[in-house]
Structure formats: C-alpha cells, structure tokens
Chain A
C-alpha cells in the first residue's frame, strides 16, 4: 500500500490564482480530512469527508472547496489564492470504528504552498 499520497509537494502561486491539491489513499478508508499547519499553530482542520459524496466544513474552511466523488480521492481546491493561505497542507485518512476499523488516522507527506 502507498498509504496517503499528496501532489504536488511544493507549489508557488500568485494572488488570485486557483489550483487543486490532490490527495489519494489506497487503504479503503471512509474518512478523509484536510489540515493546514502554520508555525506555532499546530494542525487546523479545513474540510473533512465521511464517505464518497459527503463533505463538511472544519475549523478554517473559507477560501477552500472540496469534493469526494470516490472513496480514494479527496482534492482540495483553492478558489482565489491569498497570501494568508501560505501554509503546509496535509491530507489524512482513517477507517473509523463504525466502518469496522480503528480510529487511527494517517497523514500524507504534505504540500508546501506559497502565495505571493
């Protein structure tokens, strides 16, 4: 298993540009999440999904969209990039005990985004 994969690893955008951060997992996990990590702030939840076709907002959703058309993929879209969105973005997944698995959440390697 590749686990949780993210692309790209690095990205530089200009203010106002849009882009999609890709996330995929091959563990058949129901739950997937996007976090951003800023210095001294820990990990903050942006959006999450409890299954294909179901998404919900986390703590800091403004400026981001998500969709979950398949169990494996959970892309994060930046609609109009702003310097405040400069951060490291992590995707994570876990099976969930309701789905018959533990609540152990695994992370991807991250995407480092800079918005100029």
Chain B
C-alpha cells in the first residue's frame, strides 16, 4: 500500500540541538499533518498545513507545506528530553477521505 517516505528513520540528538525531518510523496496532497506519538499512547496532532508554501509554528515546532505539494518538513528547535517519541507525517488528497501516513521518525534525545 501507499506510504509516505519519511526521513530520517531515527536520530539521536543532544539536548538543545535543533532537529529537522521531512516527508516526501509521489502524490500531491492538499493537507499535511504532523503527529507525535509517545510510548503506549495514540498519536497526538502537532501541526496542520493546508496551503502550498505555508509555514506554521506551534511553540518550538515549525512545519512547512512544500511548494510542490509533494513534501513537508518539521523542525524542532532547542530539543528537550520530552521531545522523545515517534513523529509521523500524514497527507490527505483532495476529494478523498483517507490519510496516508509516513513510517515515522524515532527521536531520541541525549541529556
């Protein structure tokens, strides 16, 4: 089945560092969502993007909707230990009701 390519798959970073991850697709999407999942919990919505080129922030998180509409990026600034978890991107094509999910980026922060 179709899934988005999300990279990196996992990363270790030092506390205080900035983090970047991205999601790419062969299909065009009209909506991009970014989620964070903590162990044993359901994914929690971080940021929603609706327009190509849109840049949206939520605290230390900033996400961008790629101009081609086939990619999206998430940046986390000044990482802290509670940023640990799995980050998922999800895309929605216009006229459909099915979100396609990336395979996730596992973030581990070294204190």
Q: Which residue of B lies closest to A109 (CB)?
A: B42
30 pairs of residues in contact across A and B, judged by CB atoms under 8 Å: A33-B98, A35-B101, A40-B103, A41-B103, A42-B6, A42-B102, A42-B103, A43-B90, A43-B101, A44-B3, A45-B1, A45-B98, A48-B98, A50-B97, A90-B42, A90-B43, A96-B97, A102-B48, A102-B50, A103-B33, A103-B48, A104-B33, A104-B45, A105-B33, A107-B35, A107-B42, A107-B43, A107-B44, A110-B41, A110-B42
Number of A-B pairs, beta carbon distance below 8 Å:
60
Q: Which residue of B lies closest to A57 (CB)?
A: B98
Does B65 have its Cβ within 8 Å of any Cβ on chain A?
Answer: no
**A105 touching B41 by the CB < 8 A rule?**
no
Q: Which B residues are closer than 8 A to A by beta carbons?
A: 1-3, 6, 31, 33, 35, 40-45, 48, 50, 88, 90, 92, 97-99, 101-104
**B104 touching A59 by the CB < 8 A rule?**
no
| Complexed CA–CA distance, A100 and B23 (Å) | 28
| Complexed CA–CA distance, A110 and B38 (Å) | 12
Give every chain A residue within 8 A of B102 (Cβ-Cβ). 42
Give every chain B residue within 8 A of A35 (Cβ-Cβ). 101
| Complexed CA–CA distance, A25 and B88 (Å) | 22
Q: Which residue of A lies closest to B43 (CB)?
A: A107
Q: Interface code A74-116, partner B: CB below 8 Å = 1, 0 otherwise?
A: 0000000000000000101000100000111111111000000
